[in-house]
Amino acid sequence: MTGRFPIEDVSPVVSCGRYPAKAVVDEPIPVSARAYREGHDALGCNVVWAGPDGASRPFTRMRPGEPGQDRWHATIAPDAVGPWTFSVEAFQDPYLTWQNAVTKKIAAGQGPEDLANDLAEGARVLAAAQDLVPTADRPRVADALTALVDTDLPLAQRVDRALALADLLWDHPVRELVTAGDTYSIWVDRKRALYSAWYEFFPRSEGAAGGRSGTFATATERLPGVAAMGFDVLYLPPIHPIGRVNRKGPNNALTAGPTDVGSPWAIGAAEGGHDTIHPDLGTPADFRAFIQAAAAQGLEVAMDLALQCAPDHPWVTEHPEWFTTRADGSIAYAENPPKKYQDIYPVNFDNDPEGIRAEVLRVVLHWVGEGIRIFRVDNPHTKPFDFWHWLIAEVKAVDPDVLFLAEAFTRPAIMHGLGKIGFTQSYTYFTWRTTAAEMRAYCEELIEAADYMRPNFWPNTPDILHESLQHGGPPMFKIRAVLAALLSPSWGLYAGYELFEHVARPGAEELLDNEKYQLRPRDWAGAEAQGRSLAPFLATLNRVRHDNPALHQLRNLRFHEIDNPALLCWSKHDPETGNTVIVICSFDSREVQWGNTTFDMPALGFDWHERFTVHDELTGTSYDWGQRNAVRLDPYLQPAHVLTVRRPTPPTEPQPAGAEPADLTVAEVPDDLSGGTAPTTPATTTTPATTTPATTTPATTTPATTTPATTTPAATTPATTTPATVASRLSAARSAAARSSRSAPTAPAPKDDRWTS
């Protein structure tokens, strides 16, 4: 160790400081360290941090954590894009040492004579403090010093003013024996690096007709629809010329017909390579106009960066050394057994690394010059890691706003490694976490990696159509959207999700008639007009994300206990604004599920005994909740509660002590018993009655308007009225309702017209 005091286990630090930690502008970054000293004198810690301009930011004092652990904590919030540095300092705090000694000795009955040395020490500390506090506070310190040395005053009056300086001298301490720890780095991106909503479409399919490709001009007509759903990043697959040699046909057929369009990832033909636009889509001017039109709708265009070539790419003839030659003299094509990609040649980065690096950097900066600031990188795990580390740093040196999304579904160590070396965001295993327990465990792993790996959750891609979507029906599309949009601050989906596209190619986990190999125009407006679109639901999710700053973060994700393994309960709380969102989501797309929550109340910003109001953003209903609540989720209505938390207001007319709520009648039993208490605001039902399964409670038992809006606060409810009492009344009322309706015929569950093959 170096210095007077040990400073250990500093966070955030990535790979012992080899790579910078990650943050975005104004993101609260938790900084912690373990620091301790010998003896009983007080230790203090602080964070010293500086921005890209090299200027130091205000002194940030650290607070001790759990007693006995010697862990210190602080939060900093960088306010500019670029490289930041920070270090932790430990120091002897003579004021805290003095304060602790004096208060204990006075409490033990010691007088001025016993405290003579302590009073003198206090005077020394205050004299030093006068030059450290703000000018406006210096008279307070001077008055305290004067009183402390005045032997004519009673002891209590001598020390009171000095003890009252505790908060001031916490923020502006006298520091002795200052020990500086190592300096670490944080790369700070713009906010979209952490919080974003992506939508992927193939521009060639938008406006395609009669086997003829769509263009950037026709794709522009789709932009308002994407923006209306609340997405802010529009990702385009490769827009370059497509090779003709070994071109694939529909559904990955080995032989393509004369009019087949081929895969956009088979990049390069006689028209050009990675720096060229496919002539069927338009000109460079058309592309710039498309980018501008997207920006006018609030959409930023992200571009695909796929470092691979079709056999007729110009690089193949100009630089054959950039590829791998097999024993028979042929160039190796891409394979992912059992998949074969005869239309794609991987680049070999070892044959001419300097030449390849220079060319790729030129290509990327070309598109940066065209207005692209986001790249979705195809299969980065198949290229050298030192290449990516170099390339990302070189690009950010030119424009630090450029972001890179790693499309890598591979071993965890590799996915984490890509995040460490500079990738801004990462695809994840979200798609394959299909139970509540799996999802919770995986998200907790991602929170642990939040200093360097930012997840982006996608329910589907052109390559991935999980069996849960193939067979789960429309409710599963809602479920996966809720999980993706509200667990992760960044999420995305591929076009067609809102139309419940679910029919898979036999033997493959991807769509039949895959858009990678053919045009796929869709009737967006017709689907919405006929109620066959999930677009309004997706718009609601993105509106909730936009309106609640707690959902813009990853580190604040907390899970809460719920006694049904088919349900997942989590929250996000933003201490800065007080905003809190609670989500309870079912993983069952077919059956109604009940559960009982047990909240970690401090994680919600409440004390353990408090009650509060939650407002369901999906149904418009509000509930009075506390630590424990009952929930009921029907996948054919809404498979999730998305709840914004509202702090209670004092009642204007509290019930007198001893008063009990009137017994519930059958007509007053709410259809939705989520929370174990009646809704405080009537639900606004938007789901047509024809979609309600026959197993739901008859509507005659649930007139929501009979529920009074002024629910009695828990603090005024007498002890004799317990949850069990209310529950017993509800049970009795339910039983009576059931007896009165046994003779009623039961209609079969209606068919959902949106779910057809």
CA 350 to chain centre: 37
251 is in an annotated binding site: no
CB 347 within 8 A of CB 322: yes
Q: Is 89 a catalytic residue?
A: no
Whether the Cβ atoms of residue 388 and residue 420 lie closer than 8 Å to each other: no
Task: Compute the chain's Rg from CA coordinates.
Answer: 32
Q: Centre a 10 Å sphere on the Cβ of residue 626 and count the other Cβ atoms it contains.
A: 19
CA dist., res. 443 & res. 445, Å (int): 5
Nearest-5° Cα angle at 400, 395 to 405: 70
CA distance 650 to 515: 57
Cis peptide before 12 (omega within 30 of 0): yes
Residue 629 main-chain phi, psi, to 5 deg:
-150, 150
DSSP 41-79: S-EEEEEEEE-TTSPBPPPEE-EE-STTS-EEEEEE---
Cβ contact 707:679 at 8 Å: yes
Question: Cα(201)–Cα(220) distance, rounded to whole angstroms?
Answer: 12
- Do the beta carbons of residue 19 and residue 452 sit within 8 Å? yes
**Which helix (H) or strand (E) is 535 found in, with range?**
helix 535-547
| Per-residue CA distances from 106 to 93, 102, 159 (Å) | 20, 6, 10
Number of helices and strands in the chain (H, E): 18, 29
517 is in an annotated binding site: yes
Q: Write the CB contacts of 475 (distance below 8 Å, at least 6 apart in sequence).
A: 589, 590, 635, 636, 639
Determine whether the annotation assigns residue 22 to a binding site. no
**Nearest CA-CA partner of 373 in 293, 289, 302, 305:** 302
Helix (H) or strand (E) holding 189: strand 176-189
Q: How many CA atoms lie within 13 A of 233 on its CB side?
A: 27
Nearest to 254 by CA among 346, 347, 339: 339
548 is in an annotated binding site: no
* CA gap 454, 447 in Å, rounded: 9
Q: How far is CA 151 from the centre of its chain?
A: 61
User: What gap in Å lies between CA 397 and CA 386, rounded to an integer?
Assistant: 17
Whether the CB-CB separation of 250 and 221 falls below 8 Å is answered with no
Which of 741, 618, 612, 750 is closest to 693 using CA atoms? 750
Is 617 catalytic? The answer is no
| Annotated binding-site residue? 248 | yes
d(CA 286, CA 195): 29
Six-digit token string for 294: 């997207």
Q: Which two tokens stand for residue 490?
A: 């960044």
Alpha helices in 130-191 (DSSP H): 138-149, 155-163, 166-171
Cα 507 → chain centroid: 33
Report how far residue 232's alpha carbon sits from residue 250's, in angstroms, rounded to the nearest whole number.
31
Question: Residues 89, 378, 617, 624: which is the catalytic one?
Answer: 378
Catalytic residue among 407, 501, 574, 616: 407
Q: What is the DSSP letter of 351?
A: T
308 annotated as a binding-site residue: yes
Question: How far apart are alpha carbons 411 and 157 in whole angstroms?
Answer: 67
Give the 3-state secondary structure of residue 406. Answer: strand
Give binding residues as ranges. Answer: 248, 308, 343, 379, 516-517
Enumerate the active-site residues.
378, 407
Give binding residues for alpha-maltose 1-phosphate as ranges. Answer: 248, 308, 343, 379, 516-517
